[in-house]
Amino acid sequence: MPRFRRAIVIVLDSVGAGELPDAAEYGDEGSHTLGHICEQEAVNLPTLMRLGLGCAVPLRGVSCAGTPEAAYGLMAERSPGKDSVTGHWELMGLVLARPFPTFPSGFPDALIRAFETRIGRPVLGNVVASGTEIIDRLGAAHLASGHPIVYTSADSVFQIAAHEHLVPVTQLYDWCAVAYALVVEGMGIGRVIARPFVGEPGRFVRTAHRHDYAMPPTGPTLLDRLTEAGCDITTIGKVSDLFAGRGTGRSIPTESDAHGMDALAEVMMTQREGLVLANLVDFDTKYGHRNDVAGYARNLEQFDRRLAEVLPRLANDDLLVVTADHGNDPATPSMDHSREYVPLLCTGPRVRVGHSLGTRSTFADLGQTLAEVFGVRPLDAGESFLGGLT
C-alpha cells in the first residue's frame, strides 16, 4: 500500500520567508514578508508555530519550542522571476530557463495600437502600476470615456481594468482574449488578467470576477503526470488559471481565502485520494500589493485558525503541505512581488514530524516528492524529499 493516498497542498500566495541570494538583482534586497510582518505586528499563529514555522525561519513571536508537529524547511526558487505562474509551475516540477518578458516602461506603442484597433476603442494608462492605485487614478476617466485601463507590473502581465456597470464582465473577458492572442501567443508574456471593479470615484473596489489567462506550461508538470495516470485532482482558487486549465482536474474558483478554506473542507469530505491543490490569493492581492501590514497579519491569523480545523480531519494516509509561491513584503516601499524563500511545512499521521527538510534548492523538490508519492514518472527537475518525510 502507498504511504500516502492523498496529498493536500495549500499555497499561501506571496507568503515569503526572506530574501533569496539574488534578491538584489530584482530590486528586492532586504525583503522578508513574514519577518517584517511579525516585527511590526503582534501576530498570533499557534497552529503554524506547532507545525514548526518558527523552526523553518526565525520570526518574532513565533517560537521554535518542543518537537514540531511537521517536517519543516524552506525552498528557494530556481526559475528566474517572482510571479505566481513561475512559482506554481516550479512547485509542480517545471523550472524555467528564461524569465517571462516584462515592460517596466509600459507596452510598446505598436502593441497598444494593435490592441486598440481590435477592440475598437483607445485605452487609458499603459503604465506600471498597482491595480488599486490605477483604478483610483483613472477610474473616473474610464467611466466618462468607456476606455479600458491597461497596465502592467514588475511581473510579465497585461492587465485590463473596467467597471462592471459600464463594461459587462463578458465583454472584458472578450478583450482579454484579444490581448491573449497578441501578447501571450504573440510575445510570450506570461498572463493577461481581467480586473473588473465597481463603485464610485474615491470608493472603487475590485470584484471577485478577476480572471487570469496564462500561457500553458512549457513542459510537463506534476499535474500532467497525475492526469496521465488517472489520478484524482481538484484545484481550488486561481490554480486552474495559472496552468491554463491543463491537468487541473476539477476546478473550484473562489471569492476569498475563507471561501477557499470552505471549499477545501468540502473536498476533503468527498475526495479520498489523489491531489488537492489550493491557492489562497488574498495575502497577495488584498494585502501585499496594498502594503497593508496589519491586514496581512490578520489574514495570517485567520488562516492559522482555519488550518487548526483542517488538521484533525486528516486521514491516516494523508499528506498536508503548506507552502507559498513567492514573496510580497508589505513593509517595503515596493508594491510588487519579492524574490524570497518560501516555507515548507509537511504533516500528517504518517509524517516523520520534527524533522528538518533543510533549505531545498528549488520549489520543484515538492513536485518531485509528490511524483514519488503517487508513483508516476519522475519530473525533469527537483529532488524528492519523501525519504525525509517517512
Q: Which of 368, 219, 300 is nearest to 53 (CA)?
A: 300
Query: What CATH topology corresponds to 109-214?
Result: Alpha-Beta Plaits (3.30.70)
pLDDT band at 2 (very low <50, low <70, confident <90, very high): low
Q: At residue 58, does pLDDT exceed 60?
A: yes
75: exposed, middle or buried (C-beta count within 10 Å: 0-12, 13-18, 19+)?
Answer: buried
pLDDT of residue 76: 98
| 35-47 pLDDT, tens digit each | 999 999 999 999 9
Q: At residue 1, does pLDDT exceed 80?
A: no
| 72-105 pLDDT, tens digit each | 999 999 999 999 999 999 999 999 999 999 999 9
Q: Angle at CA 36, nearest 5°, toward 31 and 37?
A: 130
Strand 233-236 and strand 274-280: the pairing is parallel
pLDDT of residue 131: 82
pLDDT of residue 306: 98
How many residues belong to the chain? 390
Question: In the beta sheet, which residues pair with residue 162?
Answer: 196
Q: How far apart are CA 312 and CA 376, in angstroms?
A: 29
pLDDT of residue 65: 79
Which residues of the chain does CATH 3.40.720.10 include?
6-98+216-389
pLDDT of residue 134: 94
Which CATH code is given to the segment(s) 6-98+216-389? 3.40.720.10
How much of the chain, in percent, has pLDDT values that exceed 70? Answer: 99
Q: How far apart are CA 306 and CA 80, in angstroms?
A: 33
| Mean pLDDT calculated for residue range 24-44 | 97
| 122-174 pLDDT, tens digit each | 999 999 998 889 999 999 999 999 999 999 988 899 999 999 999 999 999 99
Q: At residue 328, does pLDDT exceed 90?
A: yes
* Residue 316: its H or E element: none
Which residues of the chain does CATH 3.30.70.1250 include?
109-214
Which whole-number Å values give the CA distances from 261 to 18, 253, 305, 310, 331, in the listed order? 26, 12, 11, 9, 26
pLDDT of residue 181: 97
